[in-house]
């Protein structure tokens, strides 16, 4: 027999799902989060949260913790493989935004959100070891089937709304779109890691570097606590062209490729006067490998009382550093619409009407930026600078317009 609940059910305790629970609670709406993992641990590497999303998290009372945890990024510095500056772009407050852009460890942000959910909604608001395996519409709600710890049969829950925030390989998305588009590789392999260093530039700069083989390196510090000790916890990602595209089906399961020898051949001819790349790789305890993937945008996300959020709805290339930010903006919009409309179906329709066009445009903008960055690599430095200015200006305009409208 199904157990009825008045709570909104959210599948997935990632950044999007936890932010949705907090945003709903702030508007007086109860939520329960189902998480497949038996224990939520601070996994992952660095991410960026853009000013529009920081504004939403600050409105949820997390501004002080964000400032104490992440790095308020001041600029993006574009350089070649020898460290020569091509262009620099102000970011966050330096670019005129009322809120910073924060570079932060993904696990730190997730644990911050988790603690806030449990503090405000109750210790049982996030149910771990609870994997959603299927759902169906019933009169006045949704019936969700859950697998418990160790694969045991879990409860069957009936709720007014189900939100799929369960990531790249979403079970909710699969139920809504069994014949939907598969993961699409961008023909790029990525290696990522974290290294503790004695410092990195001014401590608030992100570098974006490339060579004539279209190998790219992005690096930025992510920890205010390290900075307080005079150190830098440097997040780095190396992007390498791969005509085979890797294995997109495994994109949600990073592997340990076996050490720095997998990355170093791609950077052996690089020479930054202000950063020893061999030291960065040697100090990286774990190096994770991923294919760069997204999906063709869906013509619709949800149906009836079921919808999607974050990577479950719109996975996107990390080019542009917008994936987590868009999940936060999804969560805020979802809560606003559910609070404004008594009919959940109307609320979810309005949520999707606001967010789907915005995120679709950003998925495409990320693809366009990726192609433009790879296409410019053999041009003279002056042409590279002109291209960077044009590409980043166009991208920023797209994102800011869509964030404002969506």
Q: Is residue 371 part of a domain?
A: yes
Determine contact, residues 125/31, Cβ cutoff 8 Å: yes
Cα separation of 372 and 327, whole Å?
A: 25
Closest CA to 134 of 34, 14, 249: 34
Residue 384's pLDDT is what? 87
- Token match 């190998």: residue? 215
Mean pLDDT throughout 212-224?
A: 96
Q: Is residue 11 part of a domain?
A: yes
Mean pLDDT throughout 20-33?
A: 98
Mean pLDDT throughout 320-338?
A: 97
Q: Is residue 274 part of a domain?
A: no
Q: Is residue 246 part of a domain?
A: no
Residue 251's pLDDT is what? 53
Q: Is the pLDDT of residue 249 over 80?
A: no
Q: Is residue 264 part of a domain?
A: no
Determine contact, residues 315/371, Cβ cutoff 8 Å: no
CA distances from 8 to 3, 19, 307, 320 (A): 13, 13, 11, 31
- Show the domain range for 135: 3-181+296-405
126-137 per-position pLDDT tens digit: 999 999 999 999
Q: Please, what sign has the CA dihedral across residues 266, 205, 113, 169? A: negative
178-215 per-position pLDDT tens digit: 999 899 888 999 999 999 999 999 999 999 999 999 99
Percent of the chain with pLDDT over 70: 96
Q: Degrees (nearest 5) of the Cα angle 113, 239, 17? A: 20
- Mean pLDDT is lowest, of 68-82, 143-157, 235-249, 390-404, for 235-249
Tokens representing 393? 């200006």
Q: Degrees (nearest 5) of the Cα angle 94, 331, 250? A: 90
Q: Is residue 30 part of a domain?
A: yes
Buried b (16+ CB within 10 A) or exposed e, 131-145: bbeebeeeeebbbbb
- Token match 């771990």: residue? 128
Q: Is residue 105 part of a domain?
A: yes
The CATH number assigned to the domain holding 399 equals: 3.50.50.60
pLDDT band at residue 173 under the 50/70/90 scheme = very high
- Token match 């991208």: residue? 395
Mean pLDDT throughout 99-121?
A: 98
- Regarding predicted confidence, which is higher, 117 or 372? 117
- Token match 């696990």: residue? 107
Determine contact, residues 211/271, Cβ cutoff 8 Å: no
Q: Is the pLDDT of residue 308 over 70?
A: yes
Strand order in the sheet with 232-241: 85-90, 75-80, 205-210, 216-221, 232-241, 183-197, 284-295
* Radius of gyration of the CA atoms of the chain, in A: 21
Determine contact, residues 71/221, Cβ cutoff 8 Å: yes
Q: How many domains does the chain have?
A: 1
- Regarding predicted confidence, which is higher, 148 or 157? 157
40-62 per-position pLDDT tens digit: 999 899 999 999 999 999 999 99
Q: Is residue 290 part of a domain?
A: no
Mean pLDDT of the chain: 93
């Amino acid at each position: 027999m199904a157990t009825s609940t008045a709570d909104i059910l959210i599948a997935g305790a990632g950044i999007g799902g936890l932010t949705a629970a907090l945003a709903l609670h702030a508007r007086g709406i109860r939520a329960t989060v189902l998480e497949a993992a038996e224990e939520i641990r601070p996994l992952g590497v660095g991410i960026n949260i853009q000013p529009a999303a920081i504004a939403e998290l600050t409105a949820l009372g997390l501004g002080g913790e964000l400032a104490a945890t992440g790095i308020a990024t001041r600029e993006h510095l574009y350089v070649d493989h020898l460290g020569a500056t091509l262009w620099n772009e102000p970011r966050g407050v330096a670019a005129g935004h009322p809120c910073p852009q924060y570079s932060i460890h993904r696990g730190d942000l997730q644990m911050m959100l988790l603690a806030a959910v449990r503090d405000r909604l109750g210790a049982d608001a996030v149910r771990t070891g609870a994997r959603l395996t299927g759902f169906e519409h019933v009169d006045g709600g949704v019936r969700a089937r859950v697998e418990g710890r160790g694969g045991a049969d879990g409860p069957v829950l009936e709720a007014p709304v189900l939100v799929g925030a369960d990531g790249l390989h979403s079970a909710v998305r699969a139920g809504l779109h069994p014949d939907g588009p598969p993961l699409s590789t961008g023909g790029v392999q990525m290696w990522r890691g974290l290294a503790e260093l004695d410092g990195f530039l001014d401590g608030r700069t992100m570098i974006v570097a490339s060579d004539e083989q279209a190998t790219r390196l992005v690096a930025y510090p992510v920890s205010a606590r390290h900075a307080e000790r005079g150190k830098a916890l440097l997040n780095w990602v190396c992007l390498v062209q791969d005509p085979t595209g890797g294995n997109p089906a495994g994109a949600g399961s990073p592997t340990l490729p076996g050490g720095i020898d997998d990355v170093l051949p791609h950077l052996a001819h690089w020479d930054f006067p202000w950063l020893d790349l061999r030291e960065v790789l040697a100090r990286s305890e774990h190096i994770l490998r991923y294919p760069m993937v997204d999906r063709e945008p869906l013509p619709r996300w949800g149906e009836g009382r079921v919808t999607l959020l974050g990577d479950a709805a719109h996975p996107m290339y990390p080019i542009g550093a917008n994936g987590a930010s868009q999940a936060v903006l999804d969560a805020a919009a979802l809560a606003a619409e559910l609070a404004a409309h008594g009919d959940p179906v109307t609320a979810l329709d309005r949520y999707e009407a606001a967010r789907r066009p915005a995120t679709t445009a950003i998925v495409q903008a990320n693809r366009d930026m990726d192609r433009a960055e790879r296409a410019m690599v053999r041009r003279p430095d002056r042409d590279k600078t002109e291209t960077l200015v044009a590409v980043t200006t166009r991208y920023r305009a797209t994102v800011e317009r869509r964030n404002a409208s969506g």
